[in-house]
C-alpha cells in the first residue's frame, strides 16, 4: 500500500494506492473517489455495540472498508473541513481522536467510541473521542492547521480545538479560571492533559464559525 497526503496544508486530501487484497477503512462520508477494482463494504467494525457507540460519538454508525480486487487500485479521501491532514504511524500504540477528525485507518487499527464525560456533553461541547489502537496507519483531519504539542507535565487545550492525543496522557475536562471567568470570559471548556505524550490541536473551531454566522440568519417574529 502506498499513501500520500496532497494539497497540504489548506485543502489536504489522502490518496491511497492498494495492491490486490489490501484494504483501507474510512469514515463513511470521507470518500472522494475510487478505482473500478475497489470493493466497498459497509461494516459495523467492532460489532453492533461499537457501531452504536460511534453513532453517539457523532461519527457515522458505519465505517466503510475499501478492498482492492486487483493491483494498483486507487482510493481518495477528504475530511469535511478546509484544513490539513496528518498521518500517524501506529505500532500497537493508542491515539484518541476527536469526533469528526477521524478520516481513515489501515492494518489492524480499530476505532472505538469513548464517552467524554457528562460535563463536556452538557456544555454543548461534547468531547467525544474515538479510541484508535492497533498496527498500521491512522489519518486525521483538521479545521485549519494542525499544531502538535509535546506535553511534558500539563497543558490545556480548548475542547473545540482538540483533534487528538496519545493515550499515554490523562485528561480532564474543566473550565478555565473561576466562575466569573466561565460566565464572562467567553472561554468555554478546556481539556487539561497530564503526563508525557503528543497533543494535536486545530487552529480554527467549527462552533466559533457557527457563532459568527448565527447573527446573519434571517430573523422572524414569533407568532
Give whichever of 84 and 137 is closer to another protein, judged by the CB atom: 84
User: Binding to another protein by residue 9, rule CB under 8 A?
Assistant: yes
3-state secondary structure of 180: helix
Q: Using CB under 8 A as the criterion, what x/- string covers residues 25-64 for binding another protein?
A: ----------------------------------------
CB of 197 to another protein, least distance (A): 15
Report how far Cα 121 is from the mean position of its chain's Cα atoms: 17
Q: Does 204 bind another protein (CB under 8 A)?
A: yes
**Strands 13-18, 73-77: pairing kind:** antiparallel
Distance CA 80, CA 78 (A): 7
Nearest to 123 by CA among 159, 97, 99: 159
Question: Which of 22, 76, 112, 192 touches another protein (CB under 8 A)?
Answer: 192
**Binding another protein by CB under 8 A: which of 37, 82, 117, 195?**
82
Q: Looking at 53-61, 99-107, 133-141, 199-207, which segment touches another protein (CB under 8 A)?
A: 199-207
Q: Is the peptide bond before 9 cis (omega within 30 degrees of 0)?
A: yes
Euclidean distance between CA atoms 180 and 118, whole angstroms: 22
Q: Does 2 bind another protein (CB under 8 A)?
A: no
**Cβ closest to another protein, residue 91 vs residue 222:** 222
The helix (H) or strand (E) run that includes residue 172 is strand 170-175
Establish if 155 lies at the interface with another protein (CB under 8 A). Answer: yes
Amino acid at each position: 500500500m502506498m499513501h500520500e497526503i496532497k494539497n497540504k496544508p489548506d485543502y489536504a486530501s489522502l490518496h491511497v494506492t492498494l495492491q490486490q487484497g489490501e484494504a483501507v477503512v474510512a469514515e463513511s462520508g470521507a470518500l472522494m473517489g475510487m478505482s473500478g477494482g475497489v470493493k466497498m463494504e459497509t461494516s459495523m467494525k467492532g460489532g453492533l455495540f461499537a457501531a452504536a457507540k460511534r453513532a453517539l460519538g457523532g461519527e457515522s454508525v458505519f465505517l466503510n472498508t475499501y478492498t482492492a480486487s486487483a493491483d494498483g487500485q486507487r482510493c481518495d479521501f477528504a475530511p469535511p473541513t478546509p484544513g490539513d491532514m496528518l498521518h500517524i504511524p501506529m505500532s500497537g500504540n493508542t491515539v484518541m481522536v476527536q469526533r469528526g477528525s477521524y478520516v481513515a485507518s489501515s492494518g489492524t487499527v480499530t476505532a472505538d467510541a469513548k464517552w467524554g464525560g457528562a460535563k463536556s456533553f452538557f456544555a454543548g461541547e461534547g468531547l467525544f473521542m474515538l479510541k484508535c489502537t492497533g498496527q498500521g496507519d491512522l489519518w486525521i483531519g483538521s479545521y485549519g492547521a494542525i499544531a502538535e504539542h509535546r506535553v511534558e507535565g500539563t497543558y490545556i487545550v480548548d475542547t473545540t480545538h482538540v483533534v487528538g492525543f496519545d493515550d499515554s496522557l490523562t485528561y480532564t475536562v474543566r473550565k478555565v479560571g473561576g466562575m466569573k471567568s466561565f460566565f464572562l470570559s467567553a472561554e468555554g471548556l478546556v481539556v487539561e492533559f497530564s503526563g508525557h505524550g503528543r497533543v494535536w490541536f486545530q487552529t480554527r473551531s467549527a462552533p466559533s464559525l457557527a457563532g459568527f454566522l448565527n447573527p446573519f440568519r434571517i430573523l422572524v417574529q414569533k407568532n
